[in-house]
Amino acid sequence: MNLAFLPDLFALAILVVILALVRRRHRDARADAWLLGLSFTLIESLAHTFYAPQGVPDRVLHVIVLDCYLLAGLVFIWAAGDQGLNQRVRFFYLALNGLSLLSLTSVYGWNLRYASAYVPAIVIGTIVGVATSLFLRRNWRYALMYLGGWGFIGVLVSKGDFRAAIYWSLGCVYAIAAWNFQRRLQARSTGRLAIVTGFSIWALFFLTHPWIMDHYAYHADIASHVWNMQKSLISIGMILVMLEEQVSNNEWLALHDELTGLPNRRLFAAKLTQAIEYSDRKNSSLALVVLDVNNFKKINDTLGHVAGDQVLREVANTLRKSIRASDTVARLGGDEFIIVATDMVNDGSVERFTDSLRSAIEHPITINEQSMVVGASFGFAMYPRDARDATKLLRLADQRMYHLKRRHGQPAQIESGVAEVAAGRLSA
């Protein structure tokens, strides 16, 4: 038993446990994949501790170590994601191409050192790689990459350089994982830096491992410790990414309505202040538009609150798609929404704007497998013509909306959320 590996093994085990605890508060499929990948590296590290300090590794241990390296790399590629493929296609793509590589690492781990043992895996791997690239990915560039990659492995095997063939293929797997994480994770993430650096180092060590073992065998112990270092770096990076995303999610929830995803009052207040400042600079006008869903209480009472929530989400999505990029829509609470529309010239332009919103909202929607049409009532106030204060603008727009509802026979029941906002939530 090689006791020198135990500290690295314990450190990795602790980090895996920490990642599992963090994952309990951040449940998603990617975190599960990370844990699976790190579990394979933990198994590899455990098997490595039983390597003899000198001589050829035991066959079973060597197969376990190499296969765990490969399986971990494939899982990390899966965890990094590929936006060009759906999950099912991506799974089959990785599984089919991974089987040939798994055969290759198993043959080498079993200490078979003659070319004919590797040829079937190389031939099948080439055919599968080209076929899946053309028919699953529909990308001839990937087909050429597989053709070149497997061709290079075949050249190394034909020369009897089996170690280089195996570790070169593993290096490519981890280089792909590094590249995918580089594209997938947020650009300013500290965790992303740690993960990409760790996988890049890992790929580099796989690619240079044969050269190190052939020329600098007396440095093998140092190389092994550096080899294990990036496992901890990747584990720490994954923990950081999960914590960063949790913080980002909390910040998003603090500024957005959870049901519809629209800005909430707090964020809308900031957006309205910015819009007023913009109008002052440009000497232009803006409109504050308030709307609520007609007969929403009846929808809740007859169809249930789940159906009511679906109606609100449908209205929110319609409003989000119907406003301009310079406008902002938010949910005040209940069935009331508010929009700040910049560069409005006069009442006519605002009325045309609200008419377009009304037409979009009144398209049929399906609720509980029933088609229905939802209506909305609007009220607006102009800045700076009607008021130069955000609270007064909101109060005036709200009064006009409820005046319109009463005129059309809608129940004029003012929501408490509007009263709270009008009391000063949107003070400019």
- As a whole number of angstroms, the distance between CA 322 and CA 302 comes to 29
- For residue 114, what are its two tokens? 């003659």
Positive/negative CA dihedral, 216, 43, 70, 75? negative
Q: 265-425: what fold? A: Alpha-Beta Plaits (3.30.70)
pTM above 0.95, yes or no: no
**Structure letter (DSSP) for residue 57:** P
Q: Convert the pLDDT of each residue in 241-263 to its tens digit.
A: 888 888 888 888 889 999 999 99
Q: Does residue 299 register a pLDDT over 50?
A: yes
The first and second tokens of residue 195, run together, are 């993960």
Share of the chain above pLDDT 90, in %: 47
* 188-197, 317-326, 374-383, 417-426: range with lowest mean pLDDT: 417-426
- pLDDT tens track for 5-50: 777 788 888 888 888 887 777 666 678 888 999 999 999 888 878 8
Yes or no: say if 266 and 255 are a contact pair by the CB < 8 Å rule.
Answer: yes
Q: How far apart are CA 394 and CA 268, in angstroms?
A: 12
DSSP single-letter state for residue 370: E
Ranges of CATH 3.30.70.270 domains, the chain: 265-425
